[in-house]
C-alpha cells in the first residue's frame, strides 16, 4: 500500500521546511523531502541558505570583519595586540560547525513538529502523486492531498567559464576555500560578488570584480550606491563596471579572464575566479512531463500571487518562483501556502520584502528607491541622516553611511527606506514594520527611540523629511 499524507513538501530549504512546520501546526500529516548533500558526503536539511548560502557566508563575513577591525581599528581604541594573523582552517572549522548545528536543529524541529523528514529525491507526478526515491533505495509513490514545491535555485553557469571546482568556482566552493587566494577574480558585482569579494579581500586577497552593467548596484537607491562605491573602493575592492566576461582559460597556475571593458578588450590573471552572475530556479527532475506544472520563459514555476501553480492543490514557493531570491521571502510564502491549504486566509506583502547586503558597511532597503518613486509620478519628499552625526555610531567607530527615507508629499506615507551603515540589516526591520502598518514619517517622528542607539538615525531621518532633524543641520 502506498504511503499517504495530507501535504508533501519537496525541498527543505527556508521555504520548504518552514512550510512543512506550518502545515504540521495546522494539525495535518506532512512529509518534507530533501536530497541536499554536503561536500563531506552527508545529507542535511536547510537547503542553500543553511548549507551554502546565508549562514556560512555570514559566518565568514563576521570572522573576516573581526580580523580587519583587529588590524585596523583596535589601535584607535588603545588596544595593543601585536601581530594579528588569521588561521583560515580555524575560521572554516567554525563556519562548518555553525552550519552543522543549525542544519541539525532543523532535523530536530521537523521531528518535534511531527513532520516526516524524508531524505532523497522527490518528483511530482500527475494527480498530486509524488515519487520519492530514498538515497539508499528504489522509488516509492506517495499520495498527497496537496503538494508544495520548494526546490530552490542553483548558480548560473556560463558556458564561457564552466565551473571546475578548483580555479573557476561557484559561491559554494568560494565559501570553502582553505587558503586565501592571493589574486581573486569575481564575475558579477551583485550581492554574492560583493559579500564574498569582501570576505577574501579582508583576509588579504587582491580582488578584482568585473561587472557587466555600467551602473553600480543598480537595484539600490543611487545615493546609497554612491556611498557604497566609495567605501568599497577605500577597502581596495577593484570593481570594474561595464566589463562583460568574454572568456576564461585555466592554466596549471592561474585563470585568465577576458572581458570587454570601457577601454576595449582586457584580461586579468587570477588564482581563483568566482562566477556569481545570478542563480536559476533548480527544477531538474522535479516534475513529470504530464504533471501539469507550467514554467515561465525564465524557467521559474508559474504561480499566481498566492503561489498556486496551474495544478489545483499544488503550490510552489521560494527561489523557484518569481520575486527576489531571498530566504525570508521564501519562508513567508511557505507560511502562506500552508495557511491556504489549511483553508485560512493568508497573503504575502511583496511590497515590503527587505533586502540586505552584509558588507561593511551593511546595505539594507525596503520599498521603492528614489528613481522608482520619481518614475511613479507621485510627488515625494526625502530626509537623510548621516551616521557621522550619530553618537552611537561614533562610539562604535562606524560612521560611514546614512539613513534615507522617501515619503509621499500628499499623505506622508513612507514609500521607501534605504540604509547604508552599521547594523543596517537590523535597523531596516523598523522600516519594514512601519511600512507593513502603512505608517507615515510622522509616526516614526513621534516614536521614542532609545538613546544612544543606531535607531536614532532612523528617527532623525524621519524628522529630516520635514526639515525637523534635531541633531543635524537641515538642508
Ligand atoms: P533552497 O534553500 O535552495 O532549498 C531547496 C532545497 O530543495 C535544497 O536542499 C535542495 O537540495 C532541495 N531539492 C531541490 N529539488 C529537490 C528534489 N527534486 N527532491 C528533493 N529535494 C530537492 N538570502 C537571504 O535572504 N539572506 C542572505 O544573507 C543570503 N545569503 C546568501 C548567500 C549565498 C552565498 C547564496 C548562494 C544565497 C544567499 N541567499 C541569501 C539566498 C538564499 O539562500 C535563498 O534565497 C534561499 O535559500 C531560498 O530558499 P528555498 O527554500 O527556496 O531554496
Ligand atoms: P545578482 O543577480 O545579485 O548579481 C549578478 C551580477 O552579475 C549582476 O550585477 C549582473 O549584471 C552581473 N553579470 C551577469 N553576467 C555577467 C557577465 N557575463 N560579466 C560580468 N558581470 C555579469 O546575483 P548573485 O550575486 O549571483 O546572487 C544571486 C542571488 O542570491 C541574489 O540575487 C540574491 O537574491 C541571493 N543572495 C542574497 C544575499 C543576501 O540577501 N544578503 C547574499 C547572497 C545572495
- The answer to whether 118 and 45 are in contact (CB under 8 A) is no
Each residue of 142-178: pLDDT tens digit? 999 999 999 999 999 999 999 999 999 999 999 999 9
- Check whether 231 has a pLDDT greater than 70: yes
**Mean pLDDT across the chain, nearest whole number?**
97
- Give the sign of the dihedral formed by CA 212, CA 329, CA 286, CA 40: positive
**What totals of helices (H) and strands (E) does the chain contain, helices first?**
14, 21
Selection from 43, 53, 61, 41 nearest residue 15 by Cα: 53
163 within some domain = no
- pLDDT tens sequence across 353-377: 999 999 999 999 999 999 999 999 9
Q: What is the domain-level CATH number for residue 10?
A: 3.50.50.60
Identify the residues whose C-beta falls under 6 Å from ligand 1. 10-16, 33-36, 47-49, 53-54, 57, 121-122, 150-153, 171, 192, 282, 285-286, 318-319, 325-328, 330, 358
Of the listed ligands, the closest to the CA of 9 is 1
Note whether 203 and 338 are same-domain residues.
no
pLDDT at 63 over 70: yes
204's grid cell: 588579504
Alpha helices in 124-169, H assignment, sequence order? none
Nearest bound ligand to the CA of residue 288: 1
**Cα distance between residue 110 and residue 122, in whole Å:** 17
Q: What is the whole-number distance in angstroms between the Cα of residue 445 and the centre of ligand 2?
A: 36
Say yes or no: 429 and 368 in one domain.
Answer: yes
Question: CB neighbours of 470 closer than 8 A, spacing ≥ 6?
Answer: 460, 463
> Which of 147, 117, 126 lies closest to 32, judged by CA?
117
State the residue range of the domain holding 135: 3-155+280-348
Q: Is 68 among the catalytic positions? A: no
Distance CA 462, CA 387 (A): 14
The reply to whether 146 and 34 lie within a common domain is yes
| Domain termination residue (choose one: 348, 377, 404) | 348
Among the listed residues 68, 72, 449, 451, the single catalytic one is: 451
Count: domains in the chain: 3
What CA–CA distances, in Å, run from 283 to 124, 237, 384? 11, 35, 43
Q: Are residues 33 and 143 in the same domain?
A: yes
Judgement on whether residues 9 and 131 belong to the same structural domain of the protein: yes
Q: What is the DSSP letter of 301?
A: B
Q: Are 438 and 431 in contact (CB under 8 A)?
A: no
pLDDT tens for each residue of 408-435: 999 999 999 999 999 999 999 999 999 9
State the first-to-last Cα distance of the chain, in angstroms, to the nearest integer. 74
Q: What residue ranges line ligand 2, CB within 6 angstroms?
A: 187-193, 195, 210-213, 244-245, 276-279, 324-326, 356-358
Of the three residues 260, 277, 294, the one that is the final residue of a domain is: 277
Q: How far is the CA of 273 from the centre of ligand 2 (A)?
A: 15
Angle at which helix 16-25 crosses helix 327-341, to 10 degrees, equals 30
Q: Measured from the CA of 286, which atom of ligand 1 is nearest?
A: 18
Query: What is d(CA 213, CA 199) in angstroms, rounded to the nearest whole number?
Result: 23
19 plus 50 within the same structural domain: yes
CATH code of residue 412: 3.30.390.30
Could you tell me if residue 443 is inside a domain? yes
Distance 319 CA to ligand 1 centre (A): 7
> What is the share, in percent, of the chain residues with pLDDT greater than 70?
100
Sorted by sequence, the CB contacts under 8 Å of residue 87 that are 6+ apart come out as none
Q: Which of 14, 49, 200 to mutate to test the pocket of ligand 1 (most atoms within 8 A of CB)?
A: 49
Distance from residue 188's CA to the centre of ligand 2 (Å): 6
Residues 191/192/198/199 CA torsion (nearest 10 deg): 140
Its pTM stands at 0.98
CB 31 within 8 A of CB 23: no
pLDDT digits (tens, 9 = 90+) for 261-275: 988 999 999 999 999
**Count of Cβ atoms closer than 10 Å to residue 159 Cβ:** 5
Q: What are the backbone angles phi and psi of residue 428, rounded to the nearest 5°? A: -65, -20
201 and 265 assigned to the same domain: yes
**3-class secondary-structure state, position 204:** coil
Alpha-carbon gap, residue 187 to 203, rounded angstroms: 19
Q: Are 169 and 52 in contact (CB under 8 A)?
A: no
Which atom of ligand 1 lies at the shortest distance from residue 155's CA? 36
Q: Please give the pLDDT value at position 1.
A: 62
Provide the pLDDT for residue 77. 96
Give yes or no: residues 251 and 334 share one domain.
no
Domain boundary among 325, 348, 371: 348
Amino acid at each position: 500500500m502506498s504511503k499517504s499524507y495530507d501535504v508533501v513538501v519537496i525541498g527543505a530549504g527556508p521555504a520548504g521546511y518552514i512550510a512543512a512546520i506550518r502545515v504540521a501546526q495546522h494539525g495535518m500529516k506532512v512529509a518534507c523531502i530533501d536530497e541536499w548533500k554536503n561536500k563531506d558526503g552527508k545529507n542535511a536539511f536547510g537547503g542553500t541558505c543553511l548549507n551554502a548560502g546565508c549562514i556560512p557566508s555570514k559566518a565568514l563575513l563576521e570572522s573576516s570583519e573581526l580580523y580587519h577591525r583587529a588590524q585596523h581599528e583596535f589601535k584607535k581604541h588603545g588596544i595593543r595586540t601585536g601581530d594579528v594573523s588569521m588561521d583560515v582552517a580555524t575560521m572554516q572549522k567554525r563556519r562548518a560547525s555553525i552550519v552543522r548545528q543549525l542544519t541539525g536543529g532543523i532535523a530536530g524541529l521537523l521531528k518535534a513538529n511531527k513532520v516526516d523528514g524524508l531524505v532523497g529525491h522527490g518528483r511530482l507526478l500527475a494527480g498530486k502523486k509524488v515519487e520519492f526515491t530514498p538515497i539508499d533505495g528504489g522509488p516509492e509513490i506517495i499520495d498527497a492531498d496537496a503538494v508544495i514545491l520548494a526546490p530552490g535555485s542553483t548558480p548560473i553557469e556560463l558556458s564561457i567559464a564552466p565551473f571546475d571546482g578548483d580555479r573557476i568556482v561557484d559561491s559554494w566552493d568560494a565559501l570553502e576555500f582553505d587558503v586565501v587566494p592571493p589574486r581573486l577574480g569575481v564575475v558579477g558585482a551583485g550581492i554574492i560578488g560583493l559579500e564574498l569579494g569582501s570576505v577574501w579581500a579582508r583576509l588579504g586577497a587582491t580582488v578584482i570584480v568585473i561587472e557587466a552593467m555600467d551602473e553600480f548596484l543598480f537595484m539600490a537607491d543611487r545615493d546609497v550606491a554612491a556611498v557604497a562605491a566609495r567605501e568599497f573602493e577605500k577597502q581596495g575592492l577593484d570593481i570594474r563596471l561595464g566589463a562583460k566576461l568574454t572568456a576564461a582559460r585555466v592554466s596549471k597556475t592561474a585563470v585568465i579572464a577576458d572581458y570587454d571593458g570601457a577601454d576595449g578588450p582586457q584580461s586579468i590573471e587570477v588564482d581563483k575566479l568566482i562566477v556569481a552572475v545570478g542563480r536559476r530556479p533548480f527544477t531538474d527532475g522535479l516534475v513529470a512531463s504530464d504533471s501539469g506544472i507550467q514554467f515561465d520563459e525564465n524557467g521559474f514555476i508559474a504561480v499566481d500571487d498566492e503561489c498556486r501553480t496551474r495544478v489545483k492543490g499544488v503550490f510552489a514557493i521560494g527561489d523557484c518562483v518569481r520575486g527576489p531570491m531571498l530566504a525570508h521571502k521564501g519562508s513567508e510564502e511557505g507560511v502562506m501556502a500552508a495557511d491556504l491549504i489549511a483553508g485560512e486566509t493568508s497573503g504575502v506583502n511583496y511590497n515590503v520584502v527587505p533586502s540586505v547586503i552584509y558588507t561593511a558597511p551593511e546595505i539594507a532597503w525596503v520599498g521603492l528607491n528614489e528613481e522608482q518613486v520619481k518614475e511613479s509620478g507621485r510627488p515625494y519628499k526625502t530626509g537623510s541622516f548621516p551616521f557621522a552625526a550619530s553618537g552611537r555610531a561614533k562610539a562604535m567607530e562606524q560612521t560611514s553611511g546614512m539613513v534615507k527615507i522617501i515619503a509621499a508629499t500628499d499623505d506622508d506615507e513612507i514609500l521607501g527606506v534605504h540604509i547604508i551603515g552599521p547594523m543596517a540589516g537590523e535597523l531596516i526591520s523598523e522600516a519594514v514594520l512601519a511600512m507593513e502598518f502603512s505608517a507615515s514619517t510622522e509616526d516614526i517622528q513621534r516614536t521614542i527611540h532609545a538613546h544612544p542607539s543606531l535607531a536614532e538615525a532612523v528617527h532623525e531621518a524621519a524628522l529630516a523629511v520635514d526639515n525637523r532633524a534635531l541633531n543635524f543641520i537641515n538642508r
